[in-house]
Chains A and B, each alone.
Chain A
């Protein structure tokens, strides 16, 4: 059996009396296309923060490529091949798209500490960054500062930054969040174009994306995994329906 690319094993996390993760078990095989869905406040982003190291779990382990990384800092996990994007854009507003991705490439190649050589001497890094941007249809705007990009382009830049670290696992936090219909084509193409070597876990509310790209769906509610299965199984699962429909009924009553 292939070793999983990323495993969350019995992960617990609590803030005072608020339980945000309860015995969460999740395994991502290499090349996976898994979707993580669930109502707001279910703890999905928290789980990503636990897996990337921004939060320390109270119990359980995180395994990356078979190694226990639970005690490692976020930047160390990135160097071992774990990348993520943010639900709310977290870019470098004053850096151009090219500069941002070049920076990420330089960090990966451990040359970011060299202050005595000019940036333009690093041809390979700049070229690689340019190619990543080109593949995501951002080549034409690569010299614009990130804050001047259209929202959809910023979401693509989020993915470009993650790809620059040559990850083996990518965690996408609602990649399509807030992207208008007209701009979602490139985004979908970008996600479709992700290499088969990379294991992808994405949080999404957009069911079209889930059904299009996910081979497996995990449903999270109230800090625990409720059920997991193929998209078709999940769509017809009565428990999942109750969670979503029940919620919808409550909203309907409030008016």
Chain B
């Protein structure tokens, strides 16, 4: 009798965590560009990079509730690190990726001590401040970063010695997609771990977390460091696949863009961020002829619309619709 009472709650939790057919379909669909739209593989690799970046933001914002207006700082750190390593002669992508991610993670770890202590407006300001500081510093240190012109002389070696980076983007997309998938698996595992539960607790009620004995600052430092590493990885892949790095990788616009993508898709669901990245990047490509100002006009309207009408983003709206459909049927 006791065995059934133990099994029941675990079974329920397990059912929550298993792979849904929708997820499997999504990942299979990511392979379609190779077959259906081979002309757009470079765009696809950009989408995958953006998706990885959004994933890292979702971990701190959607799951731990840390509002950051300067997350590009870690993306840019990864990009510049990977770029510099290549420029200085070591163009092997996989090791470069790891080193860049670690560098971004280190920066994230150091700043996490500050981040963990604040909430609300001071936190927003500090994340903004760190981002702005880094961008200005990179601009000033043009001897290192190439300043306004960006890094020159990046050359990425073939992956595992075999897969050369071609003009059409097969290798670029394969590389970015593989990295995205592997890191996603790790993130998914994290979400369904006790730590993932603790993060949701912090997001829901950080004061109560302390009242149950949680070391909230330590948790925040951990997830912030992990997220910084992932953002750095995304930046590194960008540097390696495009063989360019310029100041905009650290800029507020990049921090704002990734925020928009995440909100659009829906926070706290992992797939929301991915969906948001796909929609945003594809739309931006479609409207790339448009004057950038007008692009931001529509993005502004979109942000307002999402906040007012769809606070849980596209994915939230979709799940609401499916739930309503289920109730009616």
Chain A residues with CB under 8 Å of B194's CB are 102-103, 106, 111-115, 117, 119, 122, 125
Task: Convert A37-53 into 0s and 1s, putting 1 for each residue whose CB lies closer than 8 angstroms to a CB of B.
Answer: 00000000000000010
A103 touches B205 (CB 8 A): no
Q: Which of B200, B207, B209, B210 has the most CB of A within 10 A?
A: B210
Categorize the interface residue count of chain A: 35 or more
Could you say which residues of chain A place their CB within 8 Å of the CB of B197?
95, 99, 102-103, 106, 112, 119
A74 within 8 A of B: yes
Whether B289 is near chain A, meaning CB under 8 Å from some CB there, is no
Q: Are A74 and B210 in contact (CB under 8 A)?
A: yes
Classify the secondary structure of B's interface with A: helix
CA distance in complex: A83, B215 (Å) = 15
When distances are taken between beta carbons in the complex, the residues of chain B under 8 Å from A117 are 193-194
Given contacts A92-B201, A95-B197, A143-B12, contact A104 B212 (CB under 8 A): yes
Across the interface, name the chain A residue whose C-beta is closest to B12. Answer: A143
Q: Are A115 and B211 in contact (CB under 8 A)?
A: no
The CA of A111 and the CA of B197, in the complex, are separated in Å by 11
Residues on B with beta carbons closer than 8 Å to the beta carbon of A142: 9
Interface 0/1 of A62-101, CB less than 8 Å to B: 0000000000011100110001101000111111001110
Nearest opposing residue in chain B for A125, CB measure: B194
Inter-subunit contact A161/B9 (CB<8 Å): no
Q: Are A112 and B17 in touch, CB under 8 angstroms?
A: no
User: Is the Cβ of B212 less than 8 Å from the Cβ of A116?
Assistant: no
User: How many residues does chain B have at the interface if contact means C-beta atoms less than 8 Å apart?
Assistant: 35
- Chain B residues contacting A119 (CB-CB under 8 Å) are 13, 17, 192-194, 196-197
Contact B211 A91 (CB under 8 A): no
Beta-carbon contact of A161 and B195 below 8 Å: no
The answer, among A94, A104, A112, A127, for a CB contact under 8 Å with B6, is A127
Binary A-proximity of B50-71 (CB < 8 A = 1, otherwise 0): 0000000000000000000000
In the assembled complex, the CB of B9 is this many whole angstroms from the nearest CB of chain A, namely 5
* B5 CB within 8 Å of chain A: yes
Is A56 an interface residue when CB atoms closer than 8 A count as contact? no
Please report which residues of chain A, range 146-162, place their CB below 8 angstroms from some CB of chain B when the two chains form the complex. 161
Q: Which 7 A-B pairs have the closest CB atoms?
A: A78-B213, A115-B195, A92-B204, A104-B212, A115-B190, A112-B198, A106-B194
